[in-house]
C-alpha cells in the first residue's frame, strides 16, 4: 500500500474541492439559462451570487490549498478577473469603488420617489444570459483540468481501496499512516 504524502493529499483535496465548486457554478449557470428569469427576479440575483461565490471559492483559500490564478487558461483570464472582482467588491463585500458595467448597476444606492413617499434601495449584481454563456467554456476548461489532477491521484492510490467496502474520508493531517479513515 503506497501512502501519499501530506503534500499529495492536500493537493488532491484542493483539486477535488475546486472541481466540486466549478461543477456547482456550472449547475447554477445552467439554471440561469434554462429559467429565462427577468433581470430583476430575486432568483436570478441569488443564482448570480451563487455563481460568483462558488466560482471564486478555490481561488480564495488558504495558500496551501488555493488554486493559483495560472490554473486559468490565458484566453479566460479577463473573464476570471472580472468574476473575482465582482465577488470581492460586490458579493463578499460592498465596496464603494465597485465596478458598475456589464453585470448591471452594482453597489449603487437608489432613491425611489413616488406619491406615496421615498424608498431607499441598493443594487446587486445579476448575471446576463450572454455573460452566463461566456462563463460555461471557462468552467468546462477548469473542470477538465481538475479532473486530470483528481484522476491522477485516484490512479496512484485508488487501488489501495479495492476490497475496503464503505465510505472513506481523506485525512490531511501530518500522520501519513492515517491517510484514509472509514466513515
Overall number of domains in the chain: 1
Q: State how far the alpha carbon of 11 is from the alpha carbons of 69, 72, 83, 155, in Å.
A: 15, 17, 24, 15
Q: Is residue 17 situated within a structural domain? A: yes
Beta bridge partners of 109: 122
Q: Is residue 145 situated within a structural domain? A: yes
Q: Is residue 27 situated within a structural domain? A: yes
| pLDDT for res 95 | 64
Residues 171/12, Cβ–Cβ less than 8 Å? no
Q: Is residue 167 situated within a structural domain? A: no
C-alpha cell at 22: 466549478
Q: Is residue 181 situated within a structural domain? A: no
Q: Is residue 1 situated within a structural domain? A: no
| pLDDT for res 22 | 98
For the chain, 183 residues long, give each residue's pLDDT as a single digit of tens: 678 999 999 999 999 999 999 999 999 999 999 998 988 889 999 999 999 999 999 999 999 899 999 999 999 999 999 999 888 887 777 666 666 555 555 666 777 888 888 888 777 778 889 999 999 999 999 999 999 999 999 998 887 777 778 888 889 998 877 788 888
Residues 11/149, Cβ–Cβ less than 8 Å? yes
Q: What is the pLDDT of residues 149-175, one digit of tens each?
A: 999 999 988 877 777 788 888 899 988
- 15 exposure class (CB count in 10 Å sphere: 0-12, 13-18, 19+): buried
Q: Is residue 169 situated within a structural domain? A: no
Q: Is residue 177 situated within a structural domain? A: no
For residue 85, the enclosing domain spans 6-158
| pLDDT for res 126 | 84
Amino acid at each position: 500500500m503506497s501512502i501519499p504524502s501530506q503534500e499529495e493529499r492536500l493537493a488532491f483535496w484542493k483539486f477535488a474541492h475546486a472541481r466540486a465548486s466549478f461543477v456547482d457554478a456550472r449547475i447554477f449557470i445552467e439554471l440561469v439559462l434554462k429559467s429565462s428569469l427577468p433581470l430583476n427576479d430575486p432568483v436570478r440575483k441569488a443564482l448570480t451570487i451563487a455563481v460568483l461565490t462558488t466560482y471564486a471559492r478555490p481561488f480564495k483559500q488558504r495558500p496551501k490549498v488555493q488554486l493559483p490564478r495560472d490554473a486559468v487558461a490565458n484566453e479566460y483570464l479577463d473573464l476570471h478577473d472580472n468574476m473575482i472582482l465582482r465577488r470581492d467588491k460586490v458579493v463578499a463585500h460592498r465596496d464603494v469603488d465597485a465596478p458598475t458595467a456589464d453585470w448591471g448597476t452594482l453597489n449603487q444606492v437608489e432613491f425611489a420617489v413616488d406619491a406615496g413617499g421615498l424608498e431607499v434601495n441598493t443594487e446587486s449584481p445579476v448575471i446576463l444570459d450572454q455573460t452566463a454563456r461566456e462563463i460555461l467554456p471557462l468552467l468546462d476548461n477548469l473542470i477538465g483540468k481538475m479532473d486530470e489532477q483528481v484522476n491522477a491521484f485516484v490512479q496512484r492510490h485508488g487501488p489501495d481501496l479495492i476490497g475496503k467496502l464503505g465510505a472513506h474520508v481523506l485525512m490531511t493531517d501530518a500522520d501519513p499512516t492515517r491517510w484514509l479513515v472509514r466513515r
